Amino acid sequence: MSTNRSRHAGGRLESTRATRRRIIAAATKLLLSDGYHAMSVSALAKAAEVSPQTVYNAIGGKADVLKLVHDILLAGDEEPTPMADRPEFRAMSDAPDQPAFIAAYARLCGLIYERVGPLLGSVLGHGTGSDAGLATFVDSTEAERRTDQALMLATLEAVHGLPDGFPRDVFLDEVWCLTAPEIYDRLVRRRGWSHEAYVRWLEDVLVAAFERASRR
């Protein structure tokens, strides 16, 4: 009896996961093609072949769906592993010196935007409007980006050190601006740069920003 219950529970769990994956796949397609404002929970439910209540139960409202799709694309999977613990971030510590570390960080940013840039370009192309959920999404992702950049600088300091009097906040402000997703969208989607050209440019400007900050 216990074995039967376990199998039944396991089947329900797998069915719930499959439904969630189907909602995420449908949401990704809708967000990339039509943008956030055009997607409704009812339209998403229809595309995923579930009820609107199932969408709410499995993930939440529109903003919750967007955040989940964003986080999955950013990380490359659904595993709950923080970016700081992922191989792409840890690989920066293997860089032989400060400029190489900064260049490795630029390549990490390029990888992230290759994954999530099309979504952000589509979602934010028409602004947040009066949607409080979308405004909260923008605020939270920007705060997370700043936190990750502070972690990058702390890791750089731990591995290679920083010059005396290094202007941390000023440098992070520059990094925050230079790595803004809007810049990737402008250069790659709007101006037709290749992804590789963007990464080379970002390496150059971030290394130059670090060297300039080191001379202050």
Q: pLDDT truncated to tens, each residue of the chain (216 aa)?
A: 555 555 555 666 778 889 999 999 999 999 999 889 889 999 999 999 999 999 999 999 999 999 999 989 887 776 667 666 777 777 888 899 999 999 999 999 998 888 888 888 888 776 777 788 888 998 998 898 999 999 999 999 999 999 999 999 999 999 999 999 889 989 998 899 999 999 999 999 999 999 999 987
What is the pTM (predicted TM-score) of this model? 0.80
d(CA 47, CA 70): 19
Give the C-alpha distances (Å, rounded to integers) separating 161 from 72, 83, 126, 153, 204.
33, 22, 42, 10, 21
Side chain identity, residue 178: L
pLDDT for residue 99? 93
